[in-house]
């Protein structure tokens, strides 16, 4: 208790007196400073320079005169170098916001101690994040909740925390234990749908395709070539391996084969990128998978090879398919019927919703057919579209929002483990379970709040969406891009469809 009082008193002593400092204290002026604003003549105490201007002019002169910018750059660089901070962190808007606020505070700012960072400030930020999350929790009753789980043992406790009536679906990987427990949960609670991660489904499809006897050898050769290039240069490699790879590089047929394989997996990678995003995309899964299989038919001219790939896609899709995917697509009648019966137990209400669905499909209601509705169909997310334009069919609107707001992958869990990997390491193994948990909670939810609440173009949101967690990997990718930019920019790019 005594220690806490000393820390609090020290913190107050550190901050309050310095808040009165202004740049005017560094110059002499015949006019009283007063509130710190206004334009007046002044003379620099450091060099005797005279001019007339406001506080910003004083600040600019002093920073230039003292050579602070170069010194500050050096100090920041040394911090990055000494403490092994990823260079990409310098692009973070959080870093820039911190530097800006330090500059606005003035040169007398004293940073918080490590003890304050790990206790008082962490607890304060956790409370702020919890408060911010309350507005999202209020939407649970209307939008429903997807529980993302990585083990069957935690399902019951997760349902209890969220509230049984709020849970629409549980998303897990396709392990046999999860499938068994999923069937039990669906029998106990008919309104809960158990889905299996579509990112895992697509990863398995890519693995299976990569093991085909006409695809695996070229992939192995390409991997060996990359490894060889990273360790040698062609002129310096007169070995048998070097000669082999030289012939490989000059083989136009081999490159055509590699290009053909890239075209095949590109379709699946694009779909993986869609389902792996943080945006609601369950309404796109069914149609996108069907479109991907059809597009492969035009790419793979050999019918036997196409049948191999199509069989892989269909078998994996059948193993991971859920009626919720079909209901979100709406056009698949059987899946829609199953989900309608599970989520809407009253038969009279179901009849009303079916009538509203018929009007939606024919476009008879004005809200569905208006120009704004047609324009926004591809511009905004499906849940928001139904919220804005589904008011002519309130029952269908409520159900559509509830279905289309659900997740279809467990990628967020993998991101949480990545966050925990940064928080809990050999160097930070004395943090304690609760403090490590608080750090993960704050970091993950700050990222979630930035993604869901900021407008397009906001630097914080763009950083969260574009950068992810692995800053070192991003730096390596950027270095490759920088090297590529040295060459002439005349190579066409493959744009995502």
Average pLDDT over residues 186-211: 94
Average pLDDT over residues 381-390: 89
Q: Average pLDDT over the chain, rounded to whole?
A: 82
Give the global pTM. 0.74
CA 489 to chain centre: 30
| Confidence (pLDDT) at 84 | 87
| Confidence (pLDDT) at 238 | 67
Residues facing 146 on adjacent strands: 169
Spans of all domains in the chain: 2-123, 144-196, 200-320, 411-486
Measured between alpha carbons, how far is 190 from 147 in angstroms, rounded to an integer?
16
Measured between alpha carbons, how far is 421 from 410 in angstroms, rounded to an integer?
17
Question: Six-digit token pair at 421?
Answer: 């990997």
Lowest mean pLDDT among 57-66, 118-127, 342-351, 473-482: 473-482
Instruction: Identify the band that residue 371 occupies on the pLDDT scale cut at 50, 70 and 90.
Output: confident
Residues facing 41 on adjacent strands: 52
- The owner of tokens 């240069």 is 233
Query: Which of 143, 191, 75, 58 has its CA nearest to residue 399?
Result: 143
Instruction: Identify the band that residue 150 occupies on the pLDDT scale cut at 50, 70 and 90.
Output: confident
Q: In what order do the strands lie in the sheet with 50-53?
A: 27-28, 40-44, 50-53
User: In this predicted model, what pLDDT tens digit does every residue of 392-425 receive, in sequence order?
Assistant: 899 999 999 999 999 999 888 877 777 777 777 7
User: In this predicted model, what pLDDT tens digit does every residue of 73-132 receive, in sequence order?
Assistant: 889 999 999 988 989 889 888 898 898 888 888 778 999 999 999 999 999 999 999 999
| Confidence (pLDDT) at 490 | 38
| Confidence (pLDDT) at 457 | 54
Measured between alpha carbons, how far is 329 from 171 in angstroms, rounded to an integer?
18
In terms of C-beta density within 10 A (0-12 exposed, 13-18 middle, 19 or more buried), how is residue 6 classed? exposed
Q: 3-state DSSP call for residue 48?
A: coil
Number of Cβ atoms within 10 Å of the Cβ of 289: 24
Q: Which residue has the higher pLDDT, 271 or 47?
A: 271
- The owner of tokens 């299996």 is 196
> Would you say 154 and 147 are in contact if contact means Cβ atoms under 8 Å apart?
no
| Confidence (pLDDT) at 360 | 87
Measured between alpha carbons, how far is 424 from 432 in angstroms, rounded to an integer?
9
Degrees to nearest 5, angle at CA 109 with 103 and 112 = 115
| Confidence (pLDDT) at 427 | 67
Q: Indicate if the pLDDT at residue 201 is higher than 60.
A: yes
User: In this predicted model, what pLDDT tens digit does every residue of 306-316 receive, in sequence order?
Assistant: 999 999 999 99
| Confidence (pLDDT) at 17 | 41
> Would you say 254 and 248 are in contact if contact means Cβ atoms under 8 Å apart?
yes
Distances (CA, A) of 161 to 82, 147, 167, 403, 434: 43, 10, 10, 21, 19
Measured between alpha carbons, how far is 239 from 232 in angstroms, rounded to an integer?
11
How many percent of the chain have pLDDT more than 70? Answer: 82
> Would you say 118 and 435 are in contact if contact means Cβ atoms under 8 Å apart?
yes
Write the CB contacts of 176 (distance below 8 Å, at least 6 apart in sequence): none
Q: Indicate if the pLDDT at residue 7 is higher than 90.
A: no
Instruction: Identify the band that residue 496 occupies on the pLDDT scale cut at 50, 70 and 90.
Output: very low
| Confidence (pLDDT) at 67 | 57
Q: Which residue has the higher pLDDT, 326 or 477?
A: 326
> Would you say 163 and 375 are in contact if contact means Cβ atoms under 8 Å apart?
no
| Confidence (pLDDT) at 209 | 95
> Would you say 357 and 396 are in contact if contact means Cβ atoms under 8 Å apart?
yes
User: In this predicted model, what pLDDT tens digit does every residue of 248-292 receive, in sequence order?
Assistant: 888 999 999 999 999 999 989 989 988 887 778 898 899 899 999
Question: Six-digit token pair at 319?
Answer: 């193993």
Query: Which of 115, 121, 122 has its CA nearest to residue 435?
Result: 122
| Confidence (pLDDT) at 2 | 43
DSSP string of 55-90, one letter each residue = HHHHHHHHHHHHTHHHHHHHHHHHHHHHTT--GGGG
Instruction: Identify the band that residue 57 occupies on the pLDDT scale cut at 50, 70 and 90.
Output: confident
Instruction: Identify the band that residue 237 occupies on the pLDDT scale cut at 50, 70 and 90.
Output: low
């Amino acid at each position: 208790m005594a220690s806490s009082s000393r820390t609090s008193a020290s913190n107050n002593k550190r901050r309050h007196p310095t808040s009165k400092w202004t740049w005017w204290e560094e110059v002499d002026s015949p006019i009283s400073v007063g509130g710190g604003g206004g334009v007046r003549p002044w003379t620099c105490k450091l060099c005797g320079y005279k001019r007339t201007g406001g506080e910003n002019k004083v600040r600019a002169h002093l920073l230039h005169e003292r050579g602070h910018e170069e010194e500050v750059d050096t100090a920041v660089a040394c911090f990055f170098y000494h403490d092994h901070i990823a260079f990409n962190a310098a692009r973070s808007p959080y870093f820039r916001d911190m530097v800006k606020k330090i500059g606005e505070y003035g040169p007398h700012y004293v940073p918080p101690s490590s003890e304050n960072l790990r206790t008082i400030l962490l607890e304060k930020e956790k409370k702020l994040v919890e408060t911010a999350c309350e507005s999202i929790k209020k939407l649970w009753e209307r939008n429903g909740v997807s529980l993302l789980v990585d083990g069957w043992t935690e399902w019951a406790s997760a349902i209890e925390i969220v509230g049984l009536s709020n849970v629409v679906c549980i998303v897990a990987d396709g392990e046999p234990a999860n499938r068994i427990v999923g069937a039990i949960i669906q029998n106990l609670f008919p309104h809960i749908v158990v889905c299996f991660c579509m990112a895992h489904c697509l990863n398995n499809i890519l693995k299976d395709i990569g093991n085909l006897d006409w695809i695996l050898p070229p992939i192995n050769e390409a991997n060996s070539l990359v490894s060889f290039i990273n360790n040698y240069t062609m002129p310096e490699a007169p070995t048998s391996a070097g000669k082999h790879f030289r012939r490989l590089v000059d083989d136009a047929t081999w490159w055509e084969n590699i290009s053909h394989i890239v075209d095949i997996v590109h379709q699946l990678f694009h779909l993986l990128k869609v389902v792996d995003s943080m945006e609601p995309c369950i309404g796109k899964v069914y149609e996108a998978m069907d479109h991907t299989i059809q597009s492969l038919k035009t790419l793979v001219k050999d019918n036997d090879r196409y049948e191999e790939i199509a069989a892989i896609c269909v078998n994996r899709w059948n193993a991971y398919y859920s009626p919720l995917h079909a209901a979100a697509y709406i056009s698949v009648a059987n899946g829609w019927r199953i989900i309608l019966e599970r989520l809407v137990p009253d038969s009279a209400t179901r009849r009303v919703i079916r009538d509203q669905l018929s009007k939606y499909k024919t476009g008879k209601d004005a809200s569905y057919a208006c120009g704004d509705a047609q324009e926004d169909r591809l511009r905004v997310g499906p849940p928001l579209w139904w919220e804005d334009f589904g008011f002519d069919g309130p029952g269908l609107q409520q159900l559509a929002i509830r279905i289309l707001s659900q997740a279809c992958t467990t990628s967020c869990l993998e991101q949480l483990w990545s966050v925990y990997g940064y928080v809990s390491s050999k160097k930070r193994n004395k943090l304690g379970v609760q403090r490590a948990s608080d750090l993960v909670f704050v970091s993950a939810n700050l990222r979630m709040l930035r993604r869901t609440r900021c407008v397009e173009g906001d630097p914080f949101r763009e950083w969260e969406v574009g950068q992810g967690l692995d800053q070192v990997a991003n730096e390596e990718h950027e270095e490759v891009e920088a090297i590529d930019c040295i060459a002439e920019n005349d190579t066409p790019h493959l744009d995502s469809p």
